[in-house]
Amino acid sequence: MAMTPDYDGGTITSTVTLHTATRAPEGHWTVSWLPGRALDYNAAITAMTLAEKDADADYADRQTQLALVSLAAELGLQYPEVAGLLEQNVPAKER
């Protein structure tokens, strides 16, 4: 995984996916695949980690499956819901 937090600019980007996290002026974070949801910094990192892991996943691997389910749970989601959100909210450059 290659997530790049940019603390000064308020963005978190990835070399694995075009999904991003952005710090809003109010201080919360938004993530491209979770529109309308305000997150704290740790949840934004979790969401970006989940997007990266999903983009580069070996779905047959049990450890990968457990990691995806666990990360989703940290955000209060189930993994099938996450997979749908990631697919529905693909940044334009990935389409």
Predicted local distance difference test score (pLDDT) of residue 48:
93
Mean pLDDT of the chain: 87
| Burial class of residue 48 (count of CB atoms within 10 Å of its CB; 0-12, 13-18, 19+) | buried
- Angle 49-3-17 (CA atoms, 0-180°, nearest 5)? 75
**76 within some domain:** yes
Residues composing the chain = 95
**47 within some domain:** yes
- Angle 79-82-84 (CA atoms, 0-180°, nearest 5)? 115
**57 within some domain:** yes
Residue where the block lists tokens 């491209």: 32
Which residues in the chain show pLDDT less than 50?
Answer: 94-95
Predicted local distance difference test score (pLDDT) of residue 56:
82
Question: Rounded to an integer, what is the distance from CA 13 to the centroid of its chain?
Answer: 10
For 13, the domain range is 3-90
* Number of structural domains the chain divides into: 1
